[in-house]
Amino acid sequence: MWFSGGVEVTPEQIRLVQASFDRLRPQGASIVSGFYCRFFELSPTLRPLFRTPLPAQELRLLEALSAVISMLSNLQMLLPELEALAKRHVTYGVSAAHYHAAGDALLWTLERHLGEAFTPAVRSSWIAAYATLSDIMIASAEYRAA
Ligand code: HEM
């Protein structure tokens, strides 16, 4: 579900992701903290990979997400940063499968905060955008097939 298979995110999907993220921005801090809560609930074994105090980590994730979302229609420009980010994630102990777990926690968090605004079209737009981002990161991390 989380692999885009090279499918592009359409301009309309980009618009929906950006508009829903803008709507959530005022509650950004509580959203990323809710995301990590859910993530560690779903994947408790991943908690020890995180050494930075969570509030600082939450801020870093929020900044990274904001940058990626604002550049969704031009992700090529972020490729060098995303490749470096993906390679740092290998050193943190992150594997390809972990991107699926993070995607599930992200969808759950969005649904919870957007409520009725999380329409099927908004949901599939986030799925497409996250699949594209995780494809780039997984490819850049150069994981070998098991
Ligand atoms: C998919 C998009 C993701 C984005 C945009 C993202 C973003 C970030 C950022 C900005 C940092 C701060 C450190 C740095 O820049 O190197 C970070 C650290 C980290 N991320 Fe991610 N991440 C993603 C996915 C994941 C996934 C799937 C995992 C799975 C466990 C993960 C685990 C970690 C860990 C363990 C750290 C280090 C925390 C520490 O310093 O203690 N990330 N991430």
State in Å: Cα 12 to ligand 1 middle: 28
Q: Say what the pLDDT of residue 135 is.
A: 94
For the chain, give the percent of residues with pLDDT over 90: 90
Ligand 1 pocket residues where CB is under 6 Å:
46, 49-52, 57, 60-61, 64-65, 85, 88-89, 92, 94, 98-99, 102, 133-134, 137
CA-based nearest residue to 133, from 43, 18, 4: 4
Atom of ligand 1 nearest to the CA of 95: 29
Question: If pLDDT is split at 50, 70 and 90, which confidence band does 65 have?
Answer: very high
User: Mutate which of 54, 71, 85, 134 to test ligand 1's pocket (most atoms within 8 Å of Cβ)?
Assistant: 85
State yes or no: pLDDT of 2 exceeds 80.
no
Name the band, by pLDDT with cuts 50, 70 and 90, for residue 1.
Answer: low
Q: What is the DSSP letter of 77?
A: G
Confidence band (pLDDT; 50, 70, 90) for 48? very high
pLDDT at 128: 96
CA angle 31, 18, 70 (to 5 degrees): 95
Atom of ligand 1 nearest to the CA of 50: 41
The per-residue pLDDT for 45 is 97
